[in-house]
Each structure stands twice: as structure tokens, then as C-alpha cells.
């Protein structure tokens, strides 16, 4: 099976009332772990790569690894998605490489740091849709800004600033209508990375969990029941994974994630794509630290990359079950980009 357009995976998820994890990859072990997890749970899945990942993998390796993934598991629908594209040029590169979906993050300027104006965001996102849809490629846009930084990308907003950049449901309707995007990334107070909270208890100084504006998702879903929403920065940062890292020499104090119950609430209200990166990073790092600590004389990379892959796979399986995508891989006949092209063309008429 070739890679499928992400739009089909999201449409089917909406029909079935479930969410689909979008997992970030940089290397072979991560791709294998995701595919094995999808195979064991019979899940459709979204694999995504950031600009940092394209650079790290030197692009062509990622392309060939993805080809291997769909060849090994032909019964699993997989979309390959560009995470946080910063310009039409970056999008074009990903499309040329065989990605079936791209994110145009017009919430930020091309530098990936400075917030754009609403008008700038509409203009660049519309240009992305006009470029991608005639090729059958799915487009995700973003309205509002997320906190934190991921691969050098992000406005790194804190507290009050973050609140000022949450997605406005009124504007969301206008944004989707003006741009024609397939999926909308919403800013509801999530941040990228393992340190999601800029909040501290004023009395004790203790770091507090992030506060999410779930009501914005409810409101957007009420107004646009057919709009597929995307939750970024949605790792749950499980304490047991952070504890393993800290137990074997790591130093990660005060980490917080997004509780699964909140993600599941989002899924009941139109969230179809859930971005998870940090959790698998934590699992892999913990497994490597533990193995090397317990086996100081070992030096074969397979000895520690193997357990890292297993640890990541376990996280993916848990998420696939929690998001509801498990069991749905065989529900539909996968579309090609050509099929999707025709759908976009007839919708335009
Ligand atoms: Zn993101």
C-alpha cells in the first residue's frame, strides 16, 4: 500500500469518532516501533517529521525508510506528514519527497519564532492550500500560538503571553473558510516538549500542570462540527518514564504533560490528530540510560537501540489504544493522491 492522504485518515476518524496519533520520527528505530505498534493494534497511523528531522535524516534516508515501512505492513494506512512547515519552499521539498500531508504553520513567521498577524497567516496558509490540494496533498494550518520550542521552532510564549495567543473560536471559523485547510491546529495552552508549564504556585513555588482551555475546542466543534482539529504538544509525560531517566543519572525536574483524559475529551469534540513526540523520546532515553547503566561493559549499539525501540513501541501501543484508532486499520479502502485530487477539484467547482 502506498502512503495515503492524511485527509482520508482524518475523515475516517471523524466517522468512527476516534483520534489518531501523529508520531514524530527521525530514524529507523522510531519508524519501526510505530509500524510494529500499528500492526499489533491494527491501527491507521500518521507519521510526521519536522524540519529538524528532515535535516537530521538528510531527507533521502527518511523517504526510503518510509517506503520500507509501507512495504512491510501493506495493510496499515499510513500518512506521512510535515510538522510545522515554515515556508512554501519547505512544503514543496516535503511533497517532492513523497509526503502526503503538510503543515503550513503560518501562525509564526518564516523564522519559526515571531508571531505573524492574522492576515499574514491567512495569506500564507491559503497559498499552501492552493499549492498542495491540486496535488492531492492534505494541509494542516495553525491559528494561535503554542508555547515551548520544538526543534528550534516555536514562539516560546510563557503564561500571560500564551493566554493572549490562544485560538479564538470566532476567528477559527473565518480562518477555515478563507483558507480551505483540511485540519486546524488549535492553541489551547499546550506547549511543545517536556516542560509544558510556565506556571508556579505563588505560595510554594512548585511547578504546576499546564492549564488547558478545553472550552475553546468545545466551542469550535459546536460551530464547525466537520472541522478536524489537531492538538499539538500532547505528550502525557508519564511520571514513570521521567523517573527511569532520573533514576539512571538524568536530571529532569518539574515535568508535566497533558493528561489522557483531556485528550479524550478533545477527541469527543472534534480533535482527530494528536501530536506526540516527547513521550517516545522519554521512553527511548530511559531505556538507553538504564541499559548502559546496568551493562557498563556492553558496546554494541544494537544492545541499547533494541530496548529503546521496544520502549517506544510500548508508548505508541498505549496511545493508539487510548486515542481509539486501534482496530480501525481495515475499515476502509485507502485512497491515492490522485483520488484525493479529484475530490478537491470537484469541491472547488
Ligand atoms: Zn507542534
Q: Which domains does the chain have, with CATH numbers?
A: 6-344 (3.20.20.70)
Ligand 1: centre distance to CA 301 (Å): 30
Residues 6+ apart with CB under 8 A from 179: 122, 125, 126, 129, 141
Ligand 1: centre distance to CA 192 (Å): 6
Ligand 1: centre distance to CA 275 (Å): 7
Active site residues: 83
Ligand 1: centre distance to CA 84 (Å): 6
291 CB-side CA count, 13 A: 20
Burial class (CB in 10 A: 0-12, 13-18, 19+), 281: buried
d(CA 285, CA 150): 17
Residues with CB under 5 A from ligand 1 (ion): 232
Decide: 116 and 124 in contact? Cβ < 8 Å. yes
Residue-level pLDDT, tens digit, the chain, 349 residues: 589 999 999 999 999 999 999 999 999 999 999 999 999 999 999 999 999 999 999 999 999 999 999 999 999 999 999 999 999 999 999 999 999 999 999 999 999 888 899 999 999 999 999 999 999 999 999 998 877 666 666 766 666 666 778 999 999 999 999 999 999 999 998 888 887 766 777 888 777 777 789 999 999 999 999 999 999 999 999 999 999 999 999 999 878 889 999 999 999 999 999 999 999 999 999 999 999 999 999 999 999 999 999 999 999 999 999 999 999 999 999 999 999 999 999 998 7
Residues 6+ apart with CB under 8 A from 291: 298, 303, 304, 307
Amino acid at each position: 500500500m502506498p502512503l495515503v492522504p492524511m485527509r482520508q485518515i482524518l475523515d475516517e476518524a471523524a466517522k468512527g469518532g476516534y483520534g489518531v496519533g501523529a508520531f514524530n520520527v527521525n530514524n529507523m528505530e522510531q519508524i519501526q516501533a510505530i509500524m510494529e505498534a500499528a500492526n499489533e493494534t491494527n491501527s491507521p497511523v500518521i507519521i510526521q517529521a519536522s524540519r529538524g528531522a528532515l535535516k537530521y535524516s538528510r531527507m533521502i534516508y527518511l523517504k526510503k525508510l518510509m517506503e520500507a515501512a509501507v512495504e512491510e505492513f501493506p495493510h496499515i494506512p499510513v500518512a506521512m506528514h510535515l510538522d510545522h512547515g515554515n515556508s512554501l519552499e519547505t512544503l514543496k521539498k516535503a511533497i517532492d519527497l513523497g509526503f502526503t500531508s503538510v503543515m503550513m504553520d503560518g501562525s509564526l513567521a518564516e523564522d519559526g519564532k515571531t508571531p505573524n498577524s492574522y492576515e499574514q497567516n491567512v495569506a500564507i496558509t491559503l497559498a499552501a492550500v492552493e499549492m498542495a490540494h491540486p496535488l492531492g496533498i492534505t494541509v494542516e494550518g495553525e491559528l494561535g500560538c503554542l508555547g515551548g520550542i520544538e526543534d528550534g521552532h516555536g514562539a516560546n510564549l510563557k503564561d500571560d503571553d500564551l493566554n493572549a495567543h490562544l485560538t479564538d473560536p470566532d476567528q477559527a471559523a473565518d480562518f477555515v473558510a478563507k483558507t480551505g485547510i483540511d485540519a486546524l491546529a488549535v492553541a489551547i495552552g499546550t506547549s511543545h516538549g517536556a516542560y509544558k508549564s510556565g506556571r508556579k504556585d505563588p505560595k510554594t513555588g512548585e511547578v504546576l500542570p499546564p492549564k488547558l482551555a478545553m472550552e475553546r475546542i468545545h466551542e469550535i466543534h459546536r460551530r464547525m462540527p466537520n472541522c478536524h482539529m489537531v492538538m499539538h504538544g500532547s505528550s502525557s509525560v508519564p511520571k514513570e518514564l521521567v523517573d527511569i531517566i532520573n533514576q539512571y543519572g538524568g536530571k529532569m525536574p518539574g515535568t508535566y504533560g497533558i493528561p489522557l483524559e483531556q485528550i479524550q475529551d478533545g477527541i469527543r469534540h472534534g480533535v482527530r490528530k494528536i501530536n506526540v513526540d516527547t513521550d517516545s523520546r522519554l521512553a527511548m532515553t530511559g531505556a538507553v540510560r538504564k541499559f548502559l547503566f546496568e551493562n557498563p561493559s556492553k558496546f554494541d549499539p544494537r544492545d541499547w537501540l533494541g530496548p529503546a525501540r521496544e520502549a517506544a513501541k510500548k508508548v505508541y501501543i498505549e496511545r493508539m489504544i487510548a486515542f481509539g484508532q486501534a482496530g480501525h486499520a481495515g475499515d476502509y479502502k485507502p485512497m491515492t493522491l490522485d483520488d484525493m485530487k479529484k475530490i478537491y477539484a470537484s469541491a472547488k467547482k
